[in-house]
Amino acid sequence: MLIVIENVLSPDEVAQFREKLAGAGWSDGADTAGTRSVAVKQNLQLPRSDDVAQALGTAILRKLGHHSEFISASLAEKIWPPVFNLYQDGGHYGTHSDAAIMRLPDGSMTLRSDLSATLFLSDPDSYDGGELVIEESYGAQAVKLPAGDMVLYPSGSLHQVTPVTRGQRICAITWMQSAVADAAARAMLYDMDQSIRVLSVGRAKDDADIDRLIHVYHNLLRRWANV
């Protein structure tokens, strides 16, 4: 399931991010690619130890921790520290899938990558190319979102970033281990939660029908969660 989450960052927050990233110490993204991915990865990336990357990554995690739709869609148990990348001058990332098990070099985190996320930080009109193309069961979908918006998609899907032929495409990417590993179960929980939100509008806070739906939601979550 591919889910777009709008306005993770406000326009002012995006501008602040871009200002700080403008003078950051970008390095070759191939340094962090796997043995096969390195052959198809051509971009720039901020090292994990970079002060700007750590500060902005913490800010993103703080936003996601309070974003109701992100929480509903991901049911994230663990979130990888965000990584910042930059594509320009034909930079691209060929077709690949993300590693199933990810470990930080210092051993402080190991996670199973259930979901991947791309948070767009560049105005889509400021660059050509750079679409995130995700192959799903119903075909490939090309994603190029406004700055501040995020897309969630299965980490096991084949995906690519097409060449950027003009301007710069700057994004933050991260991965999540969900409390509900089964993608179909997670999708049903997300649909149910969204329906509860819509049906709750205009109803009393103690509406018995809504309370019953919430009861069912949490019992299903209890059944499927692995924490």
197: containing domain: 183-224
Instruction: Count up the domains in the chain and report the number.
Output: 2
Summarised one tens digit per residue, pLDDT across range 116-168 is 999 999 999 999 999 999 998 888 999 999 999 999 999 999 999 999 999 99
The CATH number assigned to the domain holding 187 equals 4.10.860
Residue 196 shares a structural domain with residue 164: no
Annotated binding-site ranges: 96, 98, 159, 169
Q: According to the model, what pLDDT value does residue 180 have?
A: 98
The CATH number assigned to the domain holding 50 equals 2.60.120.620
Annotated binding-site ranges for Fe cation: 96, 98, 159
Amino acid at 123: D
Annotated binding-site ranges for 2-oxoglutarate: 169
Q: Which residue reads 């995006």 in tokens?
A: 14
When pLDDT is averaged across residues 6-29 and rounded to a whole number, the result is: 93
What average pLDDT does the chain have?
A: 94
Q: How far apart are CA 168 and CA 122, in angstroms?
A: 7
Residue 87 shares a structural domain with residue 30: yes
DSSP-derived secondary structure letter, 101: E
Q: According to the model, what pLDDT value does residue 171 have?
A: 98
| Strands, E assignment, 130-168 | 132-136, 139-143, 150-154, 159-161, 164-166
Split at pLDDT 50, 70, 90, the class of 31 is low
